[in-house]
Amino acid sequence: SQPLAGHQAAELQSKVVPSKQILHSDNMEMEPETMETKSVTDYFSKLHMGSLVYSCTSKRKSK
């Protein structure tokens, strides 16, 4: 019988896209998600400290 390799090679040659006979990579590498962020200091600074962002502790120390 004809060698198996001959058949497989013919199959591979016959297509531009990967042959169904091989495992092809379908592993897309996606970019990360972006999450929206909030901070307790955002509100804290607006409420108590004007435009400067201080931590709670530094505010207390400065008092």
Partner 1 sequence: MEASCLELALEGERLCKAGDCRAGVSFFEAAVQVGTEDLRTLSAIYSQLGNAYFYLHEYAKALEYHHHDLTLARTIGDLLGEAKASGNLGNTLKVLGNFEEAIVCCQRHLDISRELNDKVGEARALYNLGNVYHSKGKNVASAGTHDPGDLPDDVKNALQKAANYYEENLKIVTELGDRAAQGRAFGNLGNTHYLLGNFRSAVLAHEQRLLIAKEFGDRSAERRAYSNLGNAYIFLGEFETASEYYKRTLQLARQLKDRAVEAQACYSLGNTYTLLQDYEKAIDYHLKHLVIAQELNDKIGEGRACWSLGNAYTALGNHDQAIHFAERHLEISREVGDRSGELTARLNLSDLQMVLGLSYSTNNSMMSENHVGENSFNGTRPRVGRRHSMENMELMKLTPEKVQNWN
Task: Check the CA dihedral 30-31-36-40 and report its sign.
Answer: positive
Q: How far apart are CA 14 and CA 8, in angstroms?
A: 10
Residue 52 lies near partner 1 (rule: CB under 8 A): no
* Residue position matching structure tokens 């008092």: 63
Closer Cβ to partner 1, 39 or 51, answer by number: 39
Binding to partner 1 by CB under 8 A, coded x per residue (else -) over 8-37, reads: xx-xxx--xxxxxxxxxxxxxxxxxxxxxx
State the distance between the two ends of the chain, measured CA to CA, in whole angstroms. 93
Closest approach, Cβ 6 to partner 1, in A, equals 9
Instruction: List residues near partner 1 by CB under 8 A.
Output: 1, 3-5, 7-9, 11-13, 16-44, 47, 55-57, 60
